[in-house]
Amino acid sequence: MGELLVLAVMRSSSRVVRSTERLLSLKIGEVRAVARHQSSQQEQVSKISPLKTSLALWHAAAGLRWRLVIALLATLAYVACALMTPALSAHIIDAIWTEIQASFAAGKNFVLTLENGGTDLLLYLGLWTFAWIFYSIQVAVMASFSERLNLNLRTRISKKIAHLPLSYLDDKKPGDLISRATNDLDKVSEVLQRGLLQLVLAACMLIGSVMMMAQYNLLLTAVFALFIILSVLATHVIATHTLKVSDQRQRATGVLTGNVEEAYTGRAVLLAFGGEEKSTAALAADADELARTSLIADFLINSSAPAVRFLIRIALVIIAILAGQLLVAGEITIGIFQAFFHYVGMASEPLTQLSQTVNLMQAAIAAAARVFELLDEEEMEPDPASPRVLPAQAPGRVVFSHVRFGYDPARPLMHDVSFVVEAGQKVAIVGATGAGKTTLINLLMRFYEIDGGAIELDGVSTREMRRADLRRRFGMVLQDAWLLEGTIAENIAYGHTGASREEIMAAARAAHVDYFLRTLPQGYETLVSNDAETISQGQRQLITIARAMLLDPAILILDEATSSVDTQTEQEIVAAMEALMYGRTSFVIAHRLSTVVDADMILVMEAGSIIEQGTHAELLKRGGAYAKLYQSQFA
C-alpha cells in the first residue's frame, strides 16, 4: 500500500515539475517581448557563463580566501553540532522513557538527576551553545569577506576607468558605468554576504542530515532522496531562466540610470525646448521596463521555495505513513521515530533555502558578469617600458608627420596630415563644425592613438613618452568649462599641487576673475561643482583660464576659450592671454577669426584634412577657403 502511494505521488510530482517549466517558459516569453520592445535602447544581452563568472570572482578574492576557509570551518563545526543534537535527543528520550517506565513499575515518582539523564540534557544544551557560537563566527567572517571583495572590485573599476580609451567612454552612457560600479556590485555583495553562506550551510546540513537518516532506516531515506532529486530538477528549471532575466534586469537598471543622468545633466535644454513631457515619457518607459523585468525576476527567485516546500510536504506525508507502520511493527523506537523526523526537518528547510539561494546566486552572477565585462574591456596602449623624458625647459616644437586617424578604422577621418609648429609660435586652427579641429588636439594629447604617421614634441615621438609626462607639458582651456566639486581655490589650483594662495590669486587677477571672487560671501573658499549653477558659464570659463595660467605650461591649447564671455571681458582676457602666450607654443581653436588674425600660422581644416595653411595675410591673398570664411564673417 505504501509503495503504491509513493509511485502515485511521484507521478503527480513529475507533472508539477513539467507544469512549472511550462509556466516559467510563458513568463520568460513575456520578458523577452519586453526586452524587444526597447531593444534600440538596451545593450545586446551577452551570453553569461556562470562558471567563468564564478572563477573570475574567485580570482578577484585573492588575499581574502582565508576568510572563506574560516567561514567554511565554522560552518562545518556548526553543522556537526546541529547534526549531533537529534541523535543525542533520541538517546535522551529513549533513556528517560525507560527510567520513567521503571519508576512507574516500582510505584515511585520519576525525578530527573544527573545520573538518569540530566548530564545528557546539559550536553544537549552545550551543543546548541557551541552551534550558536560557530554560526555567529561564520556570519561575521562572510560579512567581512563580501564587503572587502566589494571594495576590491570598486577599486579595480576605478583604476580600470582611468585606463580605458576615450573611444570606450564616448560610446557608453555615464549612468551605465555608475550602475555597474554601484547597483551591480551592491547586488554581488548582498548575495555573497547572505546567499553564499546559506548555500554552503544548506548543502552541508542537507548532506549531513541525509547521512544521519541513512543510519536509522534506508527505506525512509530513499523516499526522501527521491523528492530531493525532484526538488533539484525544479530548482534547475527555475535557475536557468532566473539567470537570463536577472541579466536583463541589471541591464535595464543601467539603461534607466544612464537616462536619468542624461536628463538631469541636460535639464536646462529640456526646459528650454519644452521636452519635459517627452523626457518624462521616455524615463517612464525605462522605469516600466525595469519594473516588469524585476517583477518576473522576483517571481522566479521567490517561486522556487514554495515549489520545493510543496514537494517536501508530500514527502513528509509518505514518510509519516511508512514510519508509522514501522513503529507499530516494532522495527523502530519512539526515539528513532522523532530523531528521523527531526533530521527530515533539518534537511527540509536547507533544501528550500538551497533552491532559493541558487536563484539568488544567479542574480549575483548576472550582476558580476556586467562588472567583469567592464573589467575585461581592452585598455589603452600601455606606456613604453623605457619612456623618453624631455628636459624641464623644452622649447615646445611640434611636428605632425603624415598622420592618419579614424574613430572607426574602416572609415579614416585624417589621411595625411603634416605640419610643423616652431617653438613659441601661435597656431590657429579654423574650419567648419566637424572639420576635425578638436580631433587634432586630441591626437596631440594622446587622448586617441594615431593609426599611422608620427607626432613629435621637441624631436621625441609622443608614443615614446608617458602620457602623464606628455600632458604635463600642456595647459588647456576648453569651450566647456569643467569644475570639480570643491572650493574655487581648489579648482584654480587643480593640476598645480602645492600652489600658494598668493599664486592662486595672481592667476585669478591675470584672468580678470579676482574681483568677482572677492564679492562672493566665502570668496575663494566658495564651494562649487560641475553641475551647480550658482555661477554663470562665463565666470566658470574665467576660473578655468586662471587654472591654465597658474599651471604655466610649455604649450597652451585654447578651444574657443572666450566663447562664453561678453565682448569687454573677452578683450581683457585676450590681452591677458597674449601675455601668457608670449614665448610659448599655442594652439587656438577659433570660430571667430578676429581673435586669430595675429597667429603665426593658421591651419584651415575640412573633413579631417588641412586644406590651407599660412598667415592671415597669406591666406587672404590666396582667396581660398579661409578668405571666403573671413569675408563671410565681416561682410
Second-level CATH architecture of 2-30+64-375: Up-down Bundle (1.20)
Average pLDDT, the chain: 79
10-14, 114-118, 355-359, 454-458: range with lowest mean pLDDT: 10-14
Tens digit of pLDDT for each residue in 304-313? 778 877 888 8
Give the model's confidence band at 453: pLDDT under 50 very low, under 70 low, under 90 confident, else very high.
very high
Short-list 84, 173, 191, 168, CA closest to 130? 84
**Which residue has cell 594615431?**
450
The ranges of the chain annotated as CATH 3.40.50.300 are 398-634
CA atoms of 232 and 304, how far apart (whole Å): 10
The ranges of the chain annotated as CATH 1.20.1560.10 are 2-30+64-375
What is residue 35's predicted lDDT score, i.e. its pLDDT? 39
What is residue 427's predicted lDDT score, i.e. its pLDDT? 92
Short-list 589, 488, 583, CA closest to 543? 488
Is the pLDDT confidence value at 390 over 50? Answer: yes
What is residue 41's predicted lDDT score, i.e. its pLDDT? 37
What is the CATH number that goes with domain 398-634?
Answer: 3.40.50.300
State the distance between the two ends of the chain, measured CA to CA, in whole angstroms. 106
What is residue 5's predicted lDDT score, i.e. its pLDDT? 35
Compute CA distances 168 → 261, 270, 347, 451, whole Å: 18, 26, 50, 17
Quickly list DSSP for 488-546: HHHHHTTT-TT--HHHHHHHHHHTT-HHHHHHSTTGGG-EE-SS--SS-HHHHHHHHHH
Tens digit of pLDDT for each residue in 534-580? 777 778 888 888 888 888 888 888 887 666 666 776 776 677 677 67
- 601-606 and 585-589: which strand pairing? unpaired
Short-list 430, 457, 368, CA closest to 46? 368
Tens digit of pLDDT for each residue in 294-341? 888 888 777 777 887 788 888 888 888 888 888 888 787 777 777 788
Buried b (16+ CB within 10 A) or exposed e, 112-122: eeeebbeebee
CA atoms of 363 and 48, how far apart (whole Å): 11
- Torsions phi, psi for 403 (to 5 deg): -80, 135
pTM surpassing 0.85?
A: no
Sequence letter at residue 155: T
